Amino acid sequence: MENIRVEQLQNPSGEGNYLCEDKHTIFISLASRPLEYLQIQDGVTYNGLYRPGEILITPANVPLFVRWKGQENCLQIQIKTEFLHQIAEETIDGDSHLFQLMPQFQVHDSHIQGITKMLFEEGQREVSHNQLYLDSLANILAINLVRNHGTTTPVLPIYRGGLSPHQLSQIFDYIDAHLDQNLKLENLAKLLGVSQFHFSRSFKQSVGLSPYQYLIEQRIERAKQLLKKTNQSILDIALDCGYNSHSHLSKQFRKVTGMTPKAYRIS
């Protein structure tokens, strides 16, 4: 992923120093039982137990010292500073340059926990054709950090009215023409000259679905048409609809329709 990197760390008892100059870092404990940590960052010391799902937030350029007892198992999420700053500019109504991520120990945030788990699972795939899905998750994670984990409480702009019929037509035509490609949220937003945050909110307000949900819906609809009206193999149909394999299409098709592509074709 271009703006966010997620990896799993597994280490025996030990200690270490950490500093990242151009990325903010989130650590999420995956240990099966509470693990004792000594952590020092930004002049503050924390000593206590981290339970599964609890989070450490370390902003860029903040030195971190960590000592732990027991088998460490955690996710490390690195977020480019320029990306988070861009999201802050797009989402904060006012002086976004004043936004700073706050160093925090033992954070409870189920949204961050859920989003990072999905990012990690998608990143584990050998080949991912879900760039729009990854972009959406990355944006949601960044927005959560801006809203809930900064040094100040941001004033967020209010968007009303959704997208115009002409704008929706542009987006629908673009998605329809690129169903076989790995679409990016950035490209869809650029079509209308708006931020990714604004586009995602306005699209869902207008359509009732997120851009990714709409993309899946349209891919499945095209697959239905090709299954009924052509003799193409299911693999070729999968590739035409933006899936990288027969099984990838089958899994999504069954999830949406309750049937396999083969069963749908002969029904």
Q: What is the pLDDT of residue 253?
A: 92
Q: What is the pLDDT of residue 224?
A: 93
Other Cβ atoms less than 10 A from the Cβ of 161: the count is 8
- Using a 10 angstrom Cβ sphere, with 0-12 exposed, 13-18 middle and 19 or more buried, the burial of residue 233 is exposed
pLDDT digits (tens, 9 = 90+) for 131-178: 888 888 898 999 899 888 987 666 555 556 688 878 888 999 999 999
Give the neighbor-by-neighbor strand order of the sheet with 64-69: 14-18, 64-69, 35-41, 44-50
Q: Which fold has domain 4-148?
A: Jelly Rolls (2.60.120)
Q: What is the pLDDT of residue 1?
A: 67
Q: Which fold has domain 158-267?
A: Arc Repressor Mutant, subunit A (1.10.10)
Q: What is the pLDDT of residue 208?
A: 82
Q: What is the pLDDT of residue 196?
A: 87
Round to whole Å and give the CA distance between 13 and 38.
Answer: 12
Token pair in block for residue 123: 């990143």
- DSSP states of 145-160 as a string? HHHHSBSS-PPPP---
Q: What is the pLDDT of residue 169?
A: 86
Give which of 39, 37, 40, 44 is closest to 13, Cα–Cα. Answer: 37
Residue intervals in the chain for CATH 2.60.120.280: 4-148
Q: What is the pLDDT of residue 110?
A: 87
Residue intervals in the chain for CATH 1.10.10.60: 158-267
Low-confidence ranges of the chain (pLDDT < 50): none
Q: What is the pLDDT of residue 147?
A: 86
- DSSP states of the chain as a string? --SEEEEEEEE-SEEEEE--SSEEEEEEE--SS-EEEEEEETTEEEEEEEPTT-EEEE-TT--EEEEEES-EEEEEEEEEHHHHHHHHHHH-SS-GGG--BPPEEEE--HHHHHHHHHHHHHHTSSS---HHHHHHHHHHHHHHHHHHSBSS-PPPP---S---HHHHHHHHHHHHHTTTS---HHHHHHHHT--HHHHHHHHHHHHSS-HHHHHHHHHHHHHHHHHHH----HHHHHHHTT-SSHHHHHHHHHHHHSS-HHHHHH-
Round to whole Å and give the CA distance between 58 and 104.
Answer: 7
Contact 197, 139 (CB under 8 A): yes
Tokens 């999905």 locate to 118
Contact 227, 249 (CB under 8 A): no
